[in-house]
Structure 1
Amino acid sequence: MSVVAARRDAQRDRWIPRLARLALAIVLVVGTFGLAFAAMRRDTGVILGALAVSAILIVFSLLGILIAGRKHNPVGLIFSAIAVAAAIQLTADDYILRANVTDPSSLPLVVYAEWVDRWIGAAALALLPLLFLLFPTGRIPSVRWRWVFRAWAASACFWVAGFMLTPGPLDVGNSDHAMNPFGVSFGSVLGFVGGVGLLLTALASIASLFVRWRHGTGEERQQLRLLVFVAGVGFVCFWLSGVPGPISGVGWAGFLLSVFVGIPAAIAIAILKYRLYDVDVVIRKTVVVGVLAAFITAVYVAVVVGLGSLFTDTLVLRIAATALVAVAFQPVRDRANRLANRLVYGDRATPYEVLARFGERVGETYASEDVLPRIARVIAEGTAAARSDVWLRLGDRLTLAASWPVAEPRASFAIEGDELPPIDADRVAAVRHQGELLGAIAVTKPASEPLAA
């Protein structure tokens, strides 16, 4: 990579998290106006619904910040952009409802709110092919797919411009059917060309997702499998929605279900179950902090408030509560860490169970070439490591003999005396017999989880 290209990539990496944080700010500001409009309706159900939607959009925005910030991944910006578009459209809907129905003529510039409401949802929908093309790495599968990205960019611009510029009444929800203030005669042509282009690029993007899945290995295939299925079903349902007759309604319902339920669910499973983007670190730390906060609050309430009715010296009670928290903090923290690990990473074998399982497996009869891979697997499962390697000394070189997950062999390292050469891993343990170096075991943990003792 040239110096210019590296500098360009570094500059892009700096802007990705900044844009994600800007998107969160927009969601918060626009969402506040939306909540204000919902509160004006004085309907508890509407207010609770608005709060729930706002919480979902904030979660989307935070997820975008997490992905964009930790991985410098443009997929995070797609999440952020969808949250911004949804917040704007929902707020515009409430604005239009109040201006035209609830309190007519009470708000100005309603025609521009209707104009924004007309195209903002289409802009969000146009991001789906890009999501399929970039997911999960944030880059196209290879340079051969660059034309798909370029075609998508042009098609998306034409598609959104068509909604912006098509003349005629603005037929949106609760609209007074005002005429498009920016309508031009060729607006519908732009929309048609963009729509056809988006269909073709969506099909190509789904194909690229399938190619990633076919060429992926191990956990990457698991991360992509459900999204490939949902994307394919959604595209088929979209085509069926254009067939005359009853099948049209079924196809459209299936398409909407795929877009608003299937795709978010598939991505959520990839993120939460298969640890995509290392989001589990946020969940884990949130659980630990929540348990510690609940413990400190409970101690303070029990000692200061509960016993305060019996003793008048509250200073002594506060000191006692602080001392109790200080003494019990570390044990509670250890328990909170174990609880968070179990919630986030599932059941994990204890060190004793790892040793017992190790003895059972080694004691079974295996072909000699199976022993070391099984050792690597037991170590990885017992420590919840992302990778474990077993190295053997062969003469004056240290060679990778087995790993889990299975990976291509690496180049061996030269050994000077009995000193272990540097190995790229979180923890490396030398295996020696009577001082002689026989090999090593290396463990690499996910970036989201420290190596526990």
Structure 2
Amino acid sequence: MSARTARRLVWSLAALTLSLLVLSAVAYLSGSGWHLLAGFFWAFALIFLGVGGLIAIRHPRNAIGWLFLTVAVASGLGEATHGYAQYWIEGGAGSDTLGKAAAAYSNVSWIPFVVVPTTFLLLLFPDGRLLSHRWRPIAWCAGLSIAALFLTAGLAPGPLEDFPQVVNPYGWHSSLQSPLEGLAFLLFLVAVIGSAVSMILRFRRSRGEQRLQLKWLASAAATAAIVVPIGTLGYDVWGEFISNAVIMLSVLGLPLASGIAILKYRLYDIDLIINRTLVYGALTAILAIAYLGLVVVLQEALSFATQESDLAVAGSTLAVAGLFRPLR
């Protein structure tokens, strides 16, 4: 593909993604209004669009740029359909057929921006090629898992998860539904594990600049791998919104780190960033453990004087605040 053709294709996909996002904004504002969670999905689309566009223009033969652009378009379509479905449900206006179809697609629109970064990105990073032809079965598993997840989630009968008041118009009652869901999960699991192993092997064999590039992605992936489970467990502790925000922000580190590594912007700063991340991460963990420990100890010590935990919490906060400066 020539540089001119690549540039034209990038701008076309960018225009399509931005048009879809504008349509979603119009739909939201015509209904119950804009909600903050939509802003995170906008961030997903725009970051994948920006990073993918830069990579595709500068390195048109690198498949990662085009994968990111595909994720951006899919995210934009997911937002547009979600906005229209919400407008159709709340306002009762528009086509029922289109509204149900929009709700059905919105319900499965998470698949591209979850599966692609966790499989194809790890398989192809940083040059857009597989480690060797032996990894093609893993790439096939990743591609088939996307198709299988769309198929099983799209044909699942009953109310839609995102819009429980809408029954899936494409729902299919069949004894094959459960086996197909199991197959889709198995393909995805094989693809994720295989992609991670591929990246580890690539890192062990890498030297020089490629090793620095892999460090960028490995750091972002490790952060997401730690934050996503914690955020998932925290749904009942600090609420769905904060958990979703933390999870999405951690996942956004993957395309950003990939763009920095492939475009080689401040590539050699990675060792300093890793060092600071480890130091401040350990400091945060120490202070959190100290805070929880002091709350428990002070609650027990002051239980004779008060039944409330306010005094224990206040004392623990002051103690941890006093520890912060010398530890830093």
Q: Distance in 2 between matches of 1:256 and 1:52?
A: 9
Partner of 2:252: 264
CA shift for structure 1 position 166: 2.0
Structure 1 counterpart of 2:53: 65
Cα separation, 2, equivalents of 1:155 and 1:52 = 25
In structure 2, distance between residues paired with 1:177 and 1:90: 17
Which residue is 1:201 aligned to?
191
Aligned to 1:77: 66
C-alpha distance in 2 between matches for 1:192 and 1:18: 41
Structure 2: distance between partners of 1:131 and 1:190:
25
| SS state at 2:187 partner | helix
Deviations 1:257-286 (A, max 9, x none): 7862334325424534x5x325x5xxxxxx
Aligned counterpart for 1:95 among listed residues 81, 84, 90: 84
Which structure has greater strand proportion?
1
Amino acid of the residue matched to residue 108 of structure 1? Answer: D
2:178 corresponds to 1:192: no
Q: Name the structure 2 match of 1:30.
A: 20
- How much has 1:99 moved relative to structure 2? 1.5
Cα displacement string for residues 330-377 of structure 1 (whole angstroms, at most 9, x for unaligned residues): xxxxxxxxxxxxxx799xxxxxxxxxxxxxxxxxxxxxxxxxxxxxxx
| Matched position secondary structure for 2:165 | coil
Structure 2 gap segments, 5+ residues each: 269-328
Q: Secondary structure at the match of 2:70?
A: helix
Aligned counterpart, 2:274: none
Relative to structure 1, is the Cα distance of residues 83 and 218 closer, same or farther in structure 2, using a 3 angstrom cutoff? same
Distance 1:202 1:97, change over 3 A: same
Q: Which runs of 5+ in 1 are unaligned?
A: 1-9, 281-343, 347-453
Deviation for aligned residue 1:94: 1.6
Which of 79, 92, 103 matches 1:114?
A: 103
Q: Secondary structure at the match of 2:120?
A: helix
The number of aligned residues is 262
Would you say the 8 A contact 1:89–1:117 is kept in 2?
yes
In 1, the alpha carbon distance for the partners of 2:9 and 2:171 equals 28
Identical-residue share of aligned pairs (%):
21
SS at match of 1:126: helix
The TM-score, its normalising length taken from structure 2, stands at 0.65
Relative to structure 1, the CA distance from residue 16 to residue 156 in structure 2 (aligned partners, 3 Å threshold; closer, same or farther) is: farther
> 1:183 corresponds to which residue?
172
Deviation sequence 1:234-254 (CA, Å, 0-9, x none): 557778999xxx79979xx99
- Alignment CA distance shift 1:150-1:117 (3 Å): same
Match of 2:279 in 1: none
- 2:135 aligned with 1:145, yes or no? yes
1:98 counterpart letter in structure 2: Y
Task: Give 2:92's aligned residue.
Answer: 104
Q: Higher relative contact order by CA 8 Å / sep ≥ 6: 1 or 2?
A: 2
Are 1:131 and 2:121 counterparts? yes
Task: Give the alignment partner of residue 155 of structure 1, picking from 145, 149, 157.
Answer: 145
RMSD over aligned CA atoms reads: 4.0
Question: How far off is 1:57 after superposition?
Answer: 2.9
Contact persistence 2:20–2:79 (CA under 8 A): no
Shift of 1:153: 1.7
SS state at 2:109 partner: helix
> Who wins on radius of gyration, i.e. which is larger?
1
CA distance, structure 2, for counterparts of residue 162 and residue 345 of structure 1? 41
Conserved 8 A contact 1:166-1:180:
no
TM-score for both structures, normalised by structure 1: 0.49
Task: Call closer, same or farther: CA 1:14–1:119 in 2, change over 3 Å.
Answer: farther
What is the aligned counterpart of 1:215 among 205, 226, 238? 205
Residue aligning to 1:224: 214
